[in-house]
Structure 1
C-alpha cells in the first residue's frame, strides 16, 4: 500500500524502463528532499497496479491495493496537486493479456481477459479490463492543458552535440498514403452546444429498430461535440490497393497507427490490415481461424501462435506472404513484422524515427529501404506527408543550427479523446447513427454499414478558453512565431476557430498569431526552424501527442527529454517526464545483459519544475534552491556527457544517477542562500567525489550478466532494488 497522506510531491509508479530507473533515482530524490523538509510520496498508476486494484474481490486481503489512479484523478482537480508523472503503458490487448498472465503466475487469482464475452459475468469482467487498456491514465490526470518544450540546457546541448541524421534525397520513394474518402476526416461533423445538454447515441436499423449505443452523456454549455465514422468497405479497398501498389513500386509496406491511445478504433483498423495482408487465407479458412480464437485485431503474432499446429494454414500464410511486398520490420532478426502486435508500431514514435532516418525503414532482409507509410485516416497524415516532401526537397534538418518548435496543446478534461473515448463503436449492422439531445434534437447523423467505425468526442468551453490563454501567455513570454494548427475546412477545427478568433481579438493580440491547416503549418514550422528561428505550435490533443514526438526527435534525437508542464485548471501542477516509446527494448537489455540505457533527463527536468512550483505555491525557499540546484546539476550532466550509453559495459542509467546526485549535491553545497542546506550537502558532495572510483566499480560489478527482476509488468521490489542500487557505498552516502 502507498502512503495516503497527501505528500508535498507525488512521484508516480509506472512501468518498464522508467519504473526501473525510479528504483535507482527515487531514493536519491527522497533523501535530498527530506533535507529540505519536503515529503515525496508515490501513487501506483502502472498497468499491473491498475489491474490489481480493479478486482479486489478476486484477491486476498494482502494482495489488494487501492485505486491510486482514481485518487489522483480527484487530487489534480485541487490546488494542492503537485504530481510528477512518468510515462506509463497504454496497453494494447496483447499487453493487457500478458500482464494478467504474469500476475496469475505470481498467485493473483485474477479472471482471464474475455476475448469474446458471453455470460453477464464475462461482460462485466471485460468492461473492467477495457477501462484499463489503452490511454486510461492520461485523460484522468490531465485536468489542464499542455505546455511542452525543450529545456534550454537540453536544446543547447543538442545543438553543440548534434545527433546523426539520415540522408534525404530528392529521388526517395518514401511516401505517405491515406484514404481519399470514407475516412474519419471526410465524414466529420461538429457543433457547439449553446446550452447545457444531455445526449444519447442511437443506431437505427433499416427496419426501424432502435439500439441505444450510449446513454447518459452530459455536456456543459459551449461544448464542441463531434461525430464521424470510417467506412469499413472503403478502408478494405484502400488497404488492398496500397498492398498492390507497394508491391509494384518495390518499397516496404508499413502501417502506422496509435492502437494504444486510440484503444477502440485503431486496433480495429489494424485488424483490417492483418486481414488484407492475408486475405486469401482469411477467405479460405474463416471457420478454422475463428475456431482457433483468432482475432486479427490482436495482430499477426497472435494469429501465427494459434495457427502453428495447422500445417496447411501455415503453408498458405507463407505463400501469401511471399507474394506480398516486403514489410517494414520491428525486429528483422527475430522476424517481428509491422503487423505482429498492434502496440509495436505507434505512429507518433515510428514516423518521426523513419523521417529522422532519411525515410528509411528496416526490411525483412535486415537492410534499410524506402517505405510506403500507410496512415489510413487523413486527419493528421498530411503532417507527416508534408514533412517528407519538405526533406526530399531541402535535405535533412541540421540539429546543430535548427531552432525549436514548442507546443501548447488542448487536452484538459478529456478534450478530443478520439478513439480512446467510450463513444467509439464498431457498427454491428447497416443503419443510421444519430446523436440525440434530451429534447429530441438530432445534432449528428450518419448512414453507416456493418463494420464501420463510428466515434464521437468533445472539447469543453473552459479548457478551450484556458488553452487559448496559455498560448497567449507563452507567445508573450517568448516573442516566437505562433501558429494555431487548425483547418478551416475541417468541421471540428472550424468550431475551434470560432472560439479562438474572438478571444485573440478581444485581447488585442490577433496580429501575433497565425491560423493554418496542419499541412501548411508543418511546412511553415519546418521553414522557421531550418532558419534557426523558433515557433510555437498551438494544437488540439492528438496533434499535441504527435508533434511533441516529431519535432523533439528531429531536434534532440528523442522526445524523452522534453519539458512537459501541465498547468492544472484549478491551480495544481502536473509535470510529465517525456515519452516511453523505446522502453521495452531497454528492459530487455537490462534483463539479458544488465544494461539500462533509459535516460532520466526528462525526470530531472520535471523534478526541477516541480520544486519551483512547490516554492511558488507554498512559499518554500528551500524548494526553490533544490530546483535551482537541479538546473545546475542538469547542465553539468549534459556538459560532461553523463547520459547512458548504448552498449553493455558502458555507463548506463545507474551511472547517470550517481553523477546527477553528485552534481546536485555540489550545487547545493556551493549555494550561499541557505547555510543549513549547504552544511548538510557539503559532506555528501565530498563523499560522492572521494568515493567515485569505488562507487563506479560497484555499479559495474555484475554488468553483462542476466538479471532477475521477478517480473516484467509486476517486478519484485527487493530484486529490482538489488539490480538498480548495486553500490553499497553510494547507498550509504545517500542514506
Structure 2
C-alpha cells in the first residue's frame, strides 16, 4: 500500500528510549493491524536520519538517507494522513555535534559542524545543520492545532493510585525570578497584514543597511510579531538574580528551552553561565576565547575544553573555588556533579518547572539534599504562570491527585503559529542600530532600536490557523461542557491582535458567554482553583504556552506527561497522533545500557495507536478498525488496573514486559468482543497461546536483567543489537512474527 491510502499508518522512527521501545512494540502492532489490512509503515525523523538526509552528496550511494521528514511534511497536508508521531530529539548544538561524530565513526562521510563558518562552503554546511537542530520536526508535521488531554483510563488510575507529591509550606523560600523590562515580552510589537505581502528584515547601523532576511511571503490576515531581548538588561537581571539567591540561601536554577528556542535560548544560557562565573571570565576571558571556549555550550563542555589549556588546572581551581562561594546550583545529577548549567539541553523548562512544583518547591543541591530554589526564567512572557503556581501552592498546599480535576488543552500551533525559536528569523545583533520589518512597498511595519548582542526575533501566526483553533475549541467545549478559558493578555501586543481576530468569530458563534478570556497569571490561578475543587477545565492557549501547560498539569495530575493523549486534527482532514513527552529519555537509555532495564512507559504510544485506529474506522467506514481501536483502549485499562506499567528499578517489570501484557490483554479483548465475530475468531488462538505461555515469555523477557547491554550507538544504533536487547523472548517473537 502507498502512503496516500488511509489504510497506511505511519509510525515514526525517532530517538533514544522511544526508538528503542519501538523495536519491541512495533512488531506487536503490525501483528494486530495486518488482520484488517492496515500497513504500519516507518518513516525516519530521528536526529541521525535528519542529519544524513541533508547531506546526500557527501555519502556513498548505499548510505544515502531519504528525506522522510519532507515526505511527511507533504503527507500531513492531505486528507489521507494518519501519522503516529513519537518524541524526537530537538537537538542542541552539543547533541548535534555528538551525533555527527557518531555518524562519522560509522562510516558516514558527512562534514564537521562548523562552529564559526568562514567560507561560503562552511556557511552552507552550517545552514543545513541549523535546519536540523532545535525543534525542526514539529513545525513541519503540525499542520493542525492540538487537542491534548489525559485519557480517561490514565486519569482514573492516577486517582486510584496517586503518585508522590512533595509538601508545600507557606514559608517556602522558592520563588520565580524574571525580567521586569528589556525582555521579549516588554519589547514585543505586532501588526496584522491587510493583504498578501512579502516582508524583509533589515538591520541599519553605522556601517549601512544589511538585509537579515528577505522573501518572507505571507498571506493577508497574518499576525506578524517582532521583539528583542536587551543583552544589557539580561546581564543586569542575571547578576541581581544571583545576588538574590545568595541572600535567600536557596539554590540557583535556570529554566529555559535551549532545544526548541534553538537560536535565542542557547545565547541566554551562555550569558547565565558567564554571569555565574563572572570573576573567572573577567580574569581569563581572552585566553578562554582563544581556546574556543563558548559558554553557550554549557559548563560541562567548558570544563572539558579548559582541561586542555596550558593553564587549565589553575583556571579549573578558580572555578571550583567560585562554585563553593556562589549560591549552590540546582543539580541535574548530584551523584555525578552535573549542575543546572552543565548542558543546555539537560534542563527544559516545560519539564523542569513542573518537577520543582511537584516536589514541593524543592530541587536537588550539590550536597545531595533537597532545598528551596530560585527559579530563574529570564523572559517574562510566561514566567508569571509558574510564579502564580508557586504562590498558589504556598497558600493552598500541594495538589491531591486522588481528587483533582483535569486541565485539558486546545493549542494554537498550525502553520508554524508562534514558532519563536524554530525558524530562521531570530538573530544575535552584531552592532548597534535599528532592526526594521519592511513590506514589499518599503513601508516599515515594525522597528526596534538595538545594541550589539541583543537577540531579535520575528514570528507569524496565520488567520486560517486561528480560525481552526477557535472552531476546535468550541467543538471540544460543546462535547465536554467544561469551563473553557482563552489564556490571552490584552496588554500584550500579540495577544491584542489575536483578540481582534477571535472576538468576532466567538461573537458570530454565540460563544462569548460560554468562554472566558484571562491573562495567563489569572488563568493559572483559576485553573488550579478549578482542579483543586475536583472539576475540569479547558485551557485554550498559544503555541509556546501549549508546550508548557501540557507538561505542567499532567505531571501534577497524573505524574507524567508521557501518558497524554495528543490528537492533532490536521487542517486538511488527516490525523496526527502524538505520543507524549520524551524529556527523560536520555536517563532511560543510560539505565538500559548499564542495567538492561528500560523504564520508558509506552502508554502514550498505546493511546495514540487506539486513536489512530479509530480514525481509520471513522474516516473510512472500517468497522473492524473501530473494534481494534476500542479493544486497544480496553487493553490499556486492564494494563493499568493490573499494575503492568514499567517500574523504575531492575527487578521490576520494564518496557518490554508492559508490551507483552498489552499484547496479551489486547488479544483477549478482541477474542471476547462481540462486535466482530471474524476478529474474535482470528484472535482467539493468539490470546490462548499468549496466556498459556505467559510464564515462559516472562522468564525469557527477564533473562539478563541487571547486566550491561550493547546497542551499537546512541544516536545511530545497530538494528540487530537493538532487536536482540528489546526482543529477548523467542517464544513471544514466534507468536508475534508467525
* Same fold? TM cut 0.5: yes
Separation in structure 2 between the aligned mates of residue 725 and residue 653 of structure 1, nearest angstrom: 11
2:561 corresponding residue in structure 1: 559
2:57 corresponding residue in structure 1: 57
SS state at 2:628 partner = helix
Separation in structure 2 between the aligned mates of residue 334 and residue 525 of structure 1, nearest angstrom: 38
Separation in structure 1 between the aligned mates of residue 714 and residue 250 of structure 2, nearest angstrom: 36
Separation in structure 2 between the aligned mates of residue 305 and residue 62 of structure 1, nearest angstrom: 36
Q: Is the 8 A contact 1:481 1:513 kept in 2?
A: yes
Q: Quote the offset at 1:673 in angstroms.
A: 2.4
Correspondence 1:296 to 2:295: yes
529, 532, 535: which one pairs with 1:530?
532
Flag the 1:477–1:5 CA change in 2: closer, same or farther, 3 A. closer
Q: Is the 8 A contact 2:2 2:8 kept in 1?
A: no
Q: Is the 8 A contact 2:18 2:86 kept in 1?
A: yes
Q: Is the 8 A contact 2:192 2:224 kept in 1?
A: yes
Q: Which moved more, 1:375-384 or 1:418-427?
A: 418-427
Separation in structure 1 between the aligned mates of residue 30 and residue 313 of structure 2, nearest angstrom: 57
Separation in structure 2 between the aligned mates of residue 679 and residue 722 of structure 1, nearest angstrom: 32
Correspondence 1:491 to 2:496: no
Q: Which runs of 5+ in 2 are unaligned?
A: none
Correspondence 1:46 to 2:46: yes
Q: Quote the offset at 1:191 in angstroms.
A: 0.8
Correspondence 1:134 to 2:165: no
Q: Is the 8 A contact 1:397 1:530 kept in 2?
A: yes
Correspondence 1:229 to 2:228: yes
435, 438, 450: which one pairs with 1:436?
438
Mapping for residues 184-583 of structure 1, pairs under 5 Å: 184-206=184-206, 209-309=208-308, 310-583=312-585
SS state at 2:345 partner = coil
Residue-by-residue CA offset, 1:498-524 (whole Å, 9 max, x unaligned): 112111110011101000000000000
Q: Is the 8 A contact 1:298 1:342 kept in 2?
A: yes
Separation in structure 2 between the aligned mates of residue 568 and residue 104 of structure 1, nearest angstrom: 37
Root mean square deviation, CA, Å = 1.0
Q: Quote the offset at 1:613 in angstroms.
A: 0.4
SS state at 1:511 partner = coil
Separation in structure 2 between the aligned mates of residue 280 and residue 166 of structure 1, nearest angstrom: 36
Separation in structure 1 between the aligned mates of residue 684 and residue 161 of structure 2, nearest angstrom: 32
Q: Is the 8 A contact 1:256 1:351 kept in 2?
A: yes
Q: Quote the offset at 1:4 in angstroms.
A: 6.7
Q: Quote the offset at 1:549 in angstroms.
A: 0.1
Separation in structure 2 between the aligned mates of residue 587 and residue 170 of structure 1, nearest angstrom: 38
Correspondence 1:652 to 2:635: no
693, 713, 726: which one pairs with 2:695?
693
612, 620, 630: which one pairs with 2:622?
620
Q: Quote the offset at 1:173 in angstroms.
A: 0.1
Separation in structure 2 between the aligned mates of residue 69 and residue 478 of structure 1, nearest angstrom: 35
Separation in structure 1 between the aligned mates of residue 43 and residue 583 of structure 2, nearest angstrom: 22
SS state at 1:321 partner = helix
Separation in structure 1 between the aligned mates of residue 131 and residue 74 of structure 2, nearest angstrom: 17
Q: Is the 8 A contact 1:662 1:688 kept in 2?
A: yes
Q: Is the 8 A contact 2:650 2:706 kept in 1?
A: yes
Q: Is the 8 A contact 2:184 2:379 kept in 1?
A: yes
Separation in structure 1 between the aligned mates of residue 212 and residue 369 of structure 2, nearest angstrom: 47
Separation in structure 2 between the aligned mates of residue 702 and residue 450 of structure 1, nearest angstrom: 57
Separation in structure 2 between the aligned mates of residue 334 and residue 239 of structure 1, nearest angstrom: 26
2:631 corresponding residue in structure 1: 629
Correspondence 1:169 to 2:169: yes
SS state at 1:35 partner = helix
Q: Quote the offset at 1:323 in angstroms.
A: 1.8
TM-score by length of 2: 0.98
Separation in structure 2 between the aligned mates of residue 519 and residue 429 of structure 1, nearest angstrom: 36
SS state at 1:258 partner = coil
Residue-by-residue CA offset, 1:237-279 (whole Å, 9 max, x unaligned): 1101111111121100000000011001000000100110111
Separation in structure 2 between the aligned mates of residue 290 and residue 111 of structure 1, nearest angstrom: 24
Q: Is the 8 A contact 1:8 1:614 kept in 2?
A: no
1:599 corresponding residue in structure 2: 601
Separation in structure 2 between the aligned mates of residue 5 and residue 162 of structure 1, nearest angstrom: 43
Q: Quote the offset at 1:321 in angstroms.
A: 1.7
1:159 corresponding residue in structure 2: 159
Mapping for residues 82-101 of structure 1, pairs under 5 Å: 82-101=82-101
Separation in structure 1 between the aligned mates of residue 421 and residue 62 of structure 2, nearest angstrom: 36
Separation in structure 2 between the aligned mates of residue 621 and residue 115 of structure 1, nearest angstrom: 55
Q: Is the 8 A contact 1:329 1:362 kept in 2?
A: yes
SS state at 1:438 partner = coil
Q: Quote the offset at 1:682 in angstroms.
A: 0.3
TM-score by length of 1: 0.99
SS state at 1:611 partner = helix
Q: Quote the offset at 1:703 in angstroms.
A: 0.4
SS state at 2:569 partner = strand
2:668 corresponding residue in structure 1: 666
Q: Is the 8 A contact 1:488 1:517 kept in 2?
A: yes
Q: Quote the offset at 1:3 in angstroms.
A: 8.4
Q: Which moved more, 1:101-110 or 1:407-416?
A: 101-110
Q: Is the 8 A contact 1:3 1:41 kept in 2?
A: no
Residue-by-residue CA offset, 1:349-391 (whole Å, 9 max, x unaligned): 0000110000000000000000000000000000000000000
Q: Quote the offset at 1:119 in angstroms.
A: 1.4
Separation in structure 2 between the aligned mates of residue 630 and residue 311 of structure 1, nearest angstrom: 58
Q: Which runs of 5+ in 1 are unaligned?
A: none
Q: Quote the offset at 1:5 in angstroms.
A: 7.3
Separation in structure 2 between the aligned mates of residue 472 and residue 651 of structure 1, nearest angstrom: 42
Residue-by-residue CA offset, 1:390-433 (whole Å, 9 max, x unaligned): 00000000000000000000000100001222110000000000
Separation in structure 1 between the aligned mates of residue 397 and residue 712 of structure 2, nearest angstrom: 47
SS state at 1:510 partner = coil
Q: Quote the offset at 1:312 in angstroms.
A: 1.9
Q: Quote the offset at 1:206 in angstroms.
A: 3.7
Q: Is the 8 A contact 2:273 2:341 kept in 1?
A: yes
Separation in structure 1 between the aligned mates of residue 90 and residue 573 of structure 2, nearest angstrom: 27
Separation in structure 1 between the aligned mates of residue 14 and residue 130 of structure 2, nearest angstrom: 19
Separation in structure 1 between the aligned mates of residue 654 and residue 518 of structure 2, nearest angstrom: 43
Q: Is the 8 A contact 1:3 1:42 kept in 2?
A: no
Q: Is the 8 A contact 2:470 2:502 kept in 1?
A: yes
Q: Quote the offset at 1:120 in angstroms.
A: 1.2
Q: Quote the offset at 1:674 in angstroms.
A: 2.0
Separation in structure 2 between the aligned mates of residue 419 and residue 632 of structure 1, nearest angstrom: 39
Runs of 4+ in 1 over 3 A off after TM superposition: 2-7
Correspondence 1:727 to 2:726: no
Correspondence 1:123 to 2:155: no
Separation in structure 2 between the aligned mates of residue 343 and residue 363 of structure 1, nearest angstrom: 19
Q: Is the 8 A contact 2:33 2:39 kept in 1?
A: yes
Q: Which moved more, 1:286-295 or 1:248-257?
A: 286-295
SS state at 2:459 partner = strand
